[in-house]
Amino acid sequence: MARRPPPARFGSLGIRDIAAESALIGAGGRAILLQIANPGVGHGVAEHSDFAARPLDRLVRTLDYVYTVVYGDPEQVDAVVRSVSRAHAPVRRAADASGPSYSAFDPRLQLWVAATLYDSAIDMHERVYGVLDEASAEQIYQDYAVLGTALQVPREMWPADRAAFRAYFSRELETLNTDETTRRVADALLHPVAGPLWLRAAMPVARLVTAGLLPESVRAAFRLPWSPGRQRLFTCLMAITRVVYPRVPRALRQLPRDRALRSATRKTARL
């Protein structure tokens, strides 16, 4: 049965109005799996990250980057961009029998990463708050370009509007595939053996949400289990979230953003 969206939400909104919502973190697993289903991104992550020992690293770094670029002052943005660029410097290799070529400075790969962040965020936001009005939806879309353009993505590479984005995203979905290497990364992400106890305790819910949010083709590519029963659980969980989450005090909903900005302020002060 197709998902029935909540009623439309009206008002003039931009990226700064939605990016701080911690509910969007619930789509983080979806974004990461979409990213690593691109062979260039996936093999780069597999060979330069360690999900088994540090399962939260990529998510935390991504959140720090997003929050700082969207809400930080120019000094903080410059610092986080330089930090990301330093981390990206060794992430490159030529193609050989073991895998594809990749470079973390490749604007096509960076565009895909930014696209997954936008698509995952807007999908989760509309599941929780309802469908955005056209003006807000387009403004938020245009705003999200900054996640790529702050790095090496030229502004003209960001699809011109949401219709162009949907066409781009659909084309990219058709090119995604997984192999043993990228499926191991996904397994380490979804079944952490290290990290805090609360993380491991929360993973059954995180696995359900991640699988439920993914396009069916990508879920199948990663061989994630799914069934009518899991679909019912996912639908129920989303329904509860729509009722409960908007009633949580804003200070709590935006706590991850505020912590990230305090950290960015401390790091900038040390420079």
pLDDT digits (tens, 9 = 90+) for 56-84: 888 899 999 999 999 999 999 999 999 99
- Which pLDDT score, from 0 to 100, does residue 187 have? 95
- Which pLDDT score, from 0 to 100, does residue 106 have? 96
- Which pLDDT score, from 0 to 100, does residue 12 have? 78
Question: Residue written as tokens 């011109």?
Answer: 160
2 pLDDT exceeds 50? Answer: no
Query: The whole model's pTM is what?
Result: 0.92
Is the Cα dihedral 118, 66, 139, 107 positive or negative? negative
Domain boundaries, the chain: 15-270
- Which pLDDT score, from 0 to 100, does residue 52 have? 67
**Mean model confidence pLDDT for the chain:** 92
Read off the pLDDT of each residue in 93-117 and give the average, rounded to a whole number: 92
Q: Is residue 21 within 8 Å of residue 251, measured between CB atoms?
A: no
- Which pLDDT score, from 0 to 100, does residue 8 have? 40
10 pLDDT exceeds 80? Answer: no
Read off the pLDDT of each residue in 91-101 and give the average, rounded to a whole number: 87
Q: Which residue has the higher pLDDT, 53 or 174?
A: 174
Read off the pLDDT of each residue in 221-226 and give the average, rounded to a whole number: 98
144 pLDDT exceeds 90? Answer: yes
118 pLDDT exceeds 80? Answer: yes
Mean pLDDT lowest among 198-202, 220-224, 251-255: 198-202
pLDDT digits (tens, 9 = 90+) for 204-214: 999 999 999 99
- Which pLDDT score, from 0 to 100, does residue 271 have? 64
Mean pLDDT lowest among 5-14, 99-108, 190-199, 255-264: 5-14
